[in-house]
Amino acid sequence: MLDSRTEQTLSSVQKEVRKLNVDKTFKENKDRMANILFKIDALKFGIFKLSSGKASPYYIDLRVVPSFPDAFREICDFYAQYITNQIGTRNFDRIAGVPVTGIIFASQIAYNFKKPFLYVRKGIRLHGRARRVEGLLVSGDKVLLVDDLVTTGLTLNKAIEAVKAEGGIVTDAVAFVDREEGGKQRLENNGVRLHSMLKITEVASTLFDLGAIDEENLKTIKKQVKKV
């Protein structure tokens, strides 16, 4: 029979091993997600104008994801895994999608979690109830915002303010990819934690290691990242 000190040490070691296994699996899944983005041609290089008005030498088009059912399922499963491990399903009452593509992912994630689903409109309706948040939202509800991509955080910030204006509480937002151009800091300044499942520098490094993009493409993406 083990004494109490040995049992505590053994328990501590077992927890550490489990954590290492979880971290390893998570890293493998992140690499898998980056590879999926490449395979469905969601990452493009050229001259693009973003929704924020900024110019960018690369573009991530996650609108194409639902056109690939297997990729869509895997990405939504990864969202669920990430949210469960990093945020916890008890820490929010409802899931709200951010327009436009965030709504597509949020609806599936909410269905998988059996959580009530909301979505935020781009603007206020000038008819009906003139709401910006569609769905049943009760004052005091904790709402997890789900987006596909974050650049400067302006769109997410507007969604946060819309939910708050209708009585919701927002402390966390999750996005599939963070372009690392100031969005995380902007949300933190508004009291909201941004949980990004993938950082664009991680995606670029993984694809470079796989030989999917060349060194010039890697440098192009890293140069665009804002240092904050």
Interaxial angle between packed helices 200-209 and 4-39, expressed in degrees from 0 to 180 and rounded to the nearest 10? 80
> How many Å apart are CA 163 and CA 43, to the nearest integer?
31
Return the bridge partners of 134, or none. 119
- Locate all alpha helices (DSSP H) within the chain, ordered by sequence: 4-39, 69-86, 101-113, 154-165, 183-189, 200-209, 215-224
> How many Å apart are CA 118 and CA 98, to the nearest integer?
9
Classified as helix, coil or strand, 66 is helix
- Give pTM, 2 decimals: 0.84
Per residue in 42-67, pLDDT (tens digit) is 999 988 988 777 789 999 999 999 99
CATH number at residue 123: 3.40.50.2020
Are 198 and 29 spatial neighbours (Cβ–Cβ below 8 Å)? no
Q: How many domains does the chain have?
A: 1
- As given in the structure block, the two tokens for residue 150 are 């974050």
The predicted structure's pLDDT at residue 226: 73
Per residue in 140-162, pLDDT (tens digit) is 999 999 999 999 999 999 999 99
Range of the domain at 140: 4-224
The predicted structure's pLDDT at residue 19: 43
Q: Is residue 14 scored above 50 in pLDDT? A: no
* pLDDT bucket at 26, cuts 50 / 70 / 90: confident
Return the bridge partners of 117, or none. 95
* pLDDT bucket at 132, cuts 50 / 70 / 90: confident
Are 150 and 158 spatial neighbours (Cβ–Cβ below 8 Å)? no
The predicted structure's pLDDT at residue 1: 53
